[in-house]
Amino acid sequence: QTVGSSTILYLLGITILIGTFAQNLFLPILTDMQQTFHASAFAINLTVSVFTLMLAVMQLVYGPLVDRLGRRRVLLPALLLFVAASIGCAYAPSLAYLLFFRALQGIGFAAIPIAAATVIGDLFEGAKRAEAMGT
């Protein structure tokens, strides 16, 4: 394992951490959001569901794209989309906008675990690969 691959491994880990943080960040404030947007609990819970749905569906899309276009060419635009969508979520004036930006967040985040797994597969073999995945 080289210093470069170790650095890449930790950067990928940080991006996954940030995405997971965004996925679950506002779970404690769902009731506050319900009051802010004057929405039902079901409608507010859709903000979690739409993110998770887009995350799952887009991983099917990103897998072949990562193999065809390369890790960086897929990951960087997806990260930019994730950041832009996160800003959109922060300033969403209504529940409809929040749902839209949460969907975009899920689309952007979906590339991260796919790219991370393929990069780890490229950099490590055997027991080192399992250790890297654990990291």
Does pLDDT of 16 surpass 90? no
* pLDDT tens digits, one per residue of 60-98: 999 999 999 998 899 999 999 999 999 999 999 999 999
Average pLDDT of the residues in 99-128: 89
Q: What angle do CA 80, 3, 77 make, to 5 degrees?
A: 10
58 compared with 28, residue with greater pLDDT: 58
Q: Rounded to two decimals, what is the model's pTM?
A: 0.84
Domains present along the chain, CATH in parentheses: 3-134 (1.20.1250.20)
CA-CA-CA-CA dihedral for 2, 135, 113, 84, to nearest 10: -90
CB-CB contact of 75 with 117 (8 Å): no
